[in-house]
Amino acid sequence: MKVFVGRPLVEPSTAEILAGHDVVFGAGGLPASEWPLLAAVDVLLPTPRERVTEAILAAAPHLGLVASHSVGVDHVDLEACRRRGIRVTNTPDVLTEATADLAWALILAVARRIREGEALVRSGSWDGWKPRELLGVSLQGKTLGIYGMGRIGRAVARRGEAFGMRVVAFDRGQSEEDFGEFLSKVDVLSIHVPLTDATRGRFGEREFRRMKEAAILVNTARGPIVDETALVAALSSKRLLGAGLDVYQREPQIHPGLVFLPNVVLLPHLGSATFETRLAMARLACEEIARFARGEPPLHQVA
């Protein structure tokens, strides 16, 4: 069986689990120059950077499985896969705790102005402790709002309770009235939903106006859920206290207005970036491929 892997993964994964199969690695991104390699491929293992489009599927006529190295599958044209009878799997569960940890790292970094403090120390201009220097905000007794109470959202909520925060949540099935009430309560908003037609652009100017003044927004889900132009305006006007972002609307491009704002912490999509987690993700995707080769049903099929 021939397997095309979008880019090198953390090992031992492909080398061990897919031993005996013909495994080919791409350079990342699936440029048109790599499409001829797909002609004889049975399985595709993409990362979120490899967009699996109708054109990619047409270039791989023997494809039977797309085993994505991710939880979110917005980079895969699921409907096109369904039409072609191609199964799609993802890697849930294994990145829950790592992503929740990173969400909390962003919450703390914004609340305690870590970016500004480190920049001050590195500048060489810091001349010692001052009572009013870089005052942040306490989290104890504040309200943590979880937008999307799935595995990661629940893990972030547990951490919030340990910090003495009240936790409120908004999830699928609730009304717009519920959403407005949810926004009005939160001091810290953490986003944990997949990118869909319903969630794309969900947080924009109108939502920021409905939020508590001086709230914090953290996004470790998918960038296009937040309108970055509206976010820059809300941060610049101090309508929001700050933001912590691990994902971006036009990733890997960063909105230029975000780069120079002191009240924003920016990370390069590190939610699952621990050795243990990325290895587990790679091995889970490879296990799905091994099951496919043996004719067994997938463990985590999404399409």
Share of the chain above pLDDT 70, in %: 100
| C-beta neighbour count of 174 within 10 angstroms | 12
For the chain, which residues make up each domain, given as ranges? 2-94+275-294, 96-266
What is the rounded CA–CA span in Å between residue 232 and residue 226? 11
pLDDT for 120: 97
- At 262-293, the pLDDT tens digits run 999 999 999 999 999 999 999 999 999 999 99
What is the rounded CA–CA span in Å between residue 6 and residue 44? 8
- At 78-134, the pLDDT tens digits run 999 999 999 999 999 999 999 999 999 999 999 999 999 999 999 999 999 999 999
Mean pLDDT of 146-160: 98
Q: Which CATH class is domain 2-94+275-294?
A: alpha beta
Which residue numbers are catalytic?
222, 251, 269
How many residues does this entry show for the chain? Answer: 303
Hey, do 2-94+275-294 and 96-266 end up sharing a CATH topology, with the first three levels equal?
Answer: yes
Q: In terms of CATH, what superfamily is 96-266?
A: NAD(P)-binding Rossmann-like Domain (3.40.50.720)
| CA 60 centroid distance within chain | 28
- pTM reported for the whole predicted model: 0.94
pLDDT for 282: 98
Amino acid letter at 248?
A: Y
